[in-house]
Structure 1
């Protein structure tokens, strides 16, 4: 079993990781990153590094304070109650009616007061079982968002397009920017309901459709790639809402692009949307207290759904039945699928291991979920280790915040949660080599490091990179960097003649080292 103690030392202070070449991670002195990356990898980088200083991007004003400043205070109680229903549900409506008792009939004020007492009692009972329900919307987003520091991060969400060379980023001011390799125009997306953005997801089979997980809705942008406008009109947007289904912290498109799944930690139902018809079907099961994480398998046959409690489910998407895995040590923190959809990796909050669940590759759609492993197996130990780098000692490992698997199934990047009490750092990303056949193998590759004192907050692999894998890293100082990992896929290695390449170049084997 792999562990962090088997890793080579990370780059020293003042050096940053720029690429992987010849089976090893390459670091460069600060200021020389571009030159060293070009030396080892040529012009493979699809995008230049970007920088959004956190101090230059102001967080948007909270909704309540904005309303108090700009909305007139002579609204009728019925209009205020309607707004409360759409934004916060039944409890907010009853609270508004009780507060405005002088404006409503006496019987309605009395019944609203009694109803509010019942709602609060049920809420406290439910909250004792699921403490996250007592959090405010913003606190809940910060707790369950993929971003490691959603509150303070300049870049709050990131998404590659699966088939086109472009990506979208959501900034702290609730604006979204779209970058493309083929266009110098950078569309800026803003909408009045685009608040508390925690998730972005491109529709796989369309170049222009971007789903945005917001505080109170799912927003669907149609960004025409041929348009010369840098401010797309909001008239092209679709707004998908359902009472009680907020805040939205996770989105997942089906690989064929016909269905969009959305999740909220405060709603026990996950929504399956048909975006073209703007209709949604709730999938609800008892237990869990909400849905905090979604991952659609690349083959489209399975949908992973984690809850804020020690329960996770895997749905099969033909009959929409599911299998449950319970009795985890805590809530599922992160997960990712293998490219063939046969292996699911996941981590549990505050537990320093990576688990795997395997599913048969040759089973039909309906039986594939039920035939999966009945128990999760520990496949990687990421317990804390002390790493010496010159005179510096770093405590690395522990609880995993997020992990991503490249589309070829060759590299696994793992990002950790800092723990001041234990002295662990979150400044390093652990990179593993992986192999799926004949059995799952996960082996050490090296540590990825950024600038001094800077930690990664989001990581994501480009899905259509041709020369290995391309890892995007959003750092705590507002920088977005791209790290090319140059390797030959394992399947291609088996087809290489043992006496060298066909063109006569000597093959040393170093690039395929599995140390």
Structure 2
């Protein structure tokens, strides 16, 4: 089993890794690293979300100073009505129960307090029967995303288009920036419905259809690839059904026909036919779903939950195989390019697990236990004075299943493994290197580019895109 203590040493102090070439890591002194030149050499856009958000915030403050706030007096009934539509019935009851207005109605206040007691009793019973419901709401969303420190991170999500050179980056201001071949045109997608973005997914075989998972459900953007404006005129189409929000994961099927969405408020997975605006729920009794990952072949869909249960659905008949882990929940999952291996990490263990699939069976031998096998020990170690490893945050596997990247919750470095499918049921994994940022940067989110066929540099095997906590985007090529 691979382990972090068998990795090569960290980059020297004052140096930053810039690429991998023939199994060797090339590093440069930080003061000699010119990100704009590196991006030009790769023909990739230079992106710094932290810097863009700073300039946007400065302009916003200037506009705010010109705003005139005029205080108004509202009656109790108006305040209750406004609170009901803006914040919900419970906050409206609190407004009625705690109002100190001179028009305060004793009967109305007493009735509101009595109803709040009934709400508390009902919630106590609900949380006793379903403990996972205690953590619902926007505050708990970050626990089930793939981004480290999601609530504080300048970059919420990164997603490459599977068929063309286009990358979407969601920022903490609830905007999405789309970068492509033309650096002067960067569409910015923003909507009043688009709050607390958790996941992005480009629709395969379309030029500009992007699915967004957020607090208000799933949104679909259609971006005209021939448009020369930076702010698209069209608004996002909202996909919402029942209590299926907030949406923590959206994933298109490999053929682009179906969209799967998961919500930590709903035990059912919704399979959407977006063109007809229809959905079919995959219902199962148990805790809500948190994360979805479609296999590259489209034959299976992995669905994790907010408990120790996860399922792998066979999409030909939509029947699930149910699996459990010892403790915690599944933190991140990735499929191999052939769909024969599923790698995952959990919230409670510093181990990387592998689950093999061959002709609808797990592993080759019927006598082997049908369980996932640990293939790498990610326990925290100290190299020099720097801690690496620990509880994993996210996994990213390159489209050819040659390089696996792992980020961690409590340590800043990224661990890169080499992976080789030795036999049809066995996966070889060997340590390659650690990647570090500049100064105190930590990796917020990572994504491998899915398509390299359009690039002029044919020597590139793949490119790992790293969103650092500072808002800086780095491209790490494997040559």
Verify same fold: TM over 0.5.
yes
Deviations 1:45-99 (A, max 9, x none): 53335352365565999xxxxxx99999688799769847xx8xxxx54774796
Alpha-carbon deviation of 1:298? 0.3
* In structure 2, distance between residues paired with 1:386 and 1:297: 35
* In structure 2, distance between residues paired with 1:163 and 1:94: 47
Structure 2 counterpart of 1:317: 315
Alpha-carbon deviation of 1:275? 1.0
Structure 2 counterpart of 1:501: none
Matched, 1:218 2:218: yes
Alpha-carbon deviation of 1:232? 0.5
Alpha-carbon deviation of 1:282? 1.9
Alpha-carbon deviation of 1:13? 2.2
Q: 2:258, 2:274 within 8 Å by CA — same for their partners in 1? A: yes
What TM-score does the superposition give when structure 1 sets the normalisation length? 0.79
Q: Secondary structure at the match of 1:52?
A: helix
* In structure 1, distance between residues paired with 2:266 and 2:92: 22
Structure 2 counterpart of 1:496: none
Structure 1 counterpart of 2:413: 428
CA change 1:100–1:320 in 2 (3 A) is: farther
* In structure 1, distance between residues paired with 2:248 and 2:357: 27
Q: Secondary structure at the match of 1:243?
A: coil
Deviations 1:479-507 (A, max 9, x none): 01111011xxxxxxxxxxxxxxxxxxxxx
Structure 1 counterpart of 2:476: 483
Q: Secondary structure at the match of 1:440?
A: strand
CA change 1:298–1:71 in 2 (3 A) is: farther
Structure 2 counterpart of 1:279: 278
* In structure 2, distance between residues paired with 1:233 and 1:369: 49
CA change 1:356–1:51 in 2 (3 A) is: same
Q: Secondary structure at the match of 1:196?
A: coil
Q: 1:58, 1:173 within 8 Å by CA — same for their partners in 2? A: no
Q: 1:397, 1:416 within 8 Å by CA — same for their partners in 2? A: yes
Structure 2 counterpart of 1:155: 155
Q: Secondary structure at the match of 2:127?
A: helix
Deviations 1:179-203 (A, max 9, x none): 0024531111111111111111111
Structure 1 counterpart of 2:344: 346
Q: Equivalent of 2:376, from 363, 374, 380?
A: 380
Alpha-carbon deviation of 1:328? 2.4
CA change 1:113–1:43 in 2 (3 A) is: closer
Q: 1:58, 1:172 within 8 Å by CA — same for their partners in 2? A: no
Structure 2 counterpart of 1:507: none
* In structure 2, distance between residues paired with 1:403 and 1:58: 32
Structure 2 counterpart of 1:135: 135
Deviations 1:297-353 (A, max 9, x none): 000011111111111111111211101111422111111000001100000113111
Residue pairs, 1:201-212, within 5 angstroms: 201-212=201-212
Q: Secondary structure at the match of 1:263?
A: strand
* In structure 2, distance between residues paired with 1:250 and 1:326: 20
Deviations 1:192-248 (A, max 9, x none): 11111111111112111011111112111100110111111244x211112321211
Structure 2 counterpart of 1:328: 326
Q: 2:222, 2:234 within 8 Å by CA — same for their partners in 1? A: no
Alpha-carbon deviation of 1:457? 0.4
Q: Secondary structure at the match of 1:359?
A: strand
Matched, 1:299 2:297: yes
Q: Secondary structure at the match of 1:151?
A: coil
Matched, 1:459 2:449: no
What TM-score does the superposition give when structure 2 sets the normalisation length? 0.84
* In structure 2, distance between residues paired with 1:292 and 1:441: 29
* In structure 1, distance between residues paired with 2:79 and 2:37: 62
Segments of structure 2 that go 5 or more residues without pairing to the other structure are: 62-68, 98-104, 454-459
Per mean C-alpha deviation after superposition, the further-off stretch among 338-347 and 6-15 is 6-15
Q: 1:94, 1:112 within 8 Å by CA — same for their partners in 2? A: no
Q: 1:253, 1:296 within 8 Å by CA — same for their partners in 2? A: yes
Structure 2 counterpart of 1:22: 22
CA change 1:119–1:345 in 2 (3 A) is: same
Q: 1:140, 1:265 within 8 Å by CA — same for their partners in 2? A: no
CA change 1:94–1:11 in 2 (3 A) is: closer
Deviations 1:154-183 (A, max 9, x none): 111111111110111111111111000245
Residue pairs, 1:135-284, within 5 angstroms: 135=135, 137-182=137-182, 184-235=184-235, 237-284=236-283
Q: Secondary structure at the match of 2:247?
A: coil
Alpha-carbon deviation of 1:126? 3.8
Q: Equivalent of 1:442, from 424, 429, 432?
A: 429
Q: 2:269, 2:289 within 8 Å by CA — same for their partners in 1? A: yes
Q: Secondary structure at the match of 2:123?
A: helix
Q: 2:35, 2:46 within 8 Å by CA — same for their partners in 1? A: no
* In structure 2, distance between residues paired with 1:271 and 1:243: 11
* In structure 2, distance between residues paired with 1:43 and 1:55: 27
CA change 1:245–1:394 in 2 (3 A) is: same
Structure 2 counterpart of 1:397: 389
Alpha-carbon deviation of 1:410? 0.3
Q: 2:96, 2:108 within 8 Å by CA — same for their partners in 1? A: no
Alpha-carbon deviation of 1:135? 3.3
Q: Secondary structure at the match of 1:141?
A: helix
Alpha-carbon deviation of 1:115? 6.5
Alpha-carbon deviation of 1:469? 1.2
Deviations 1:441-460 (A, max 9, x none): 00011111110111000000
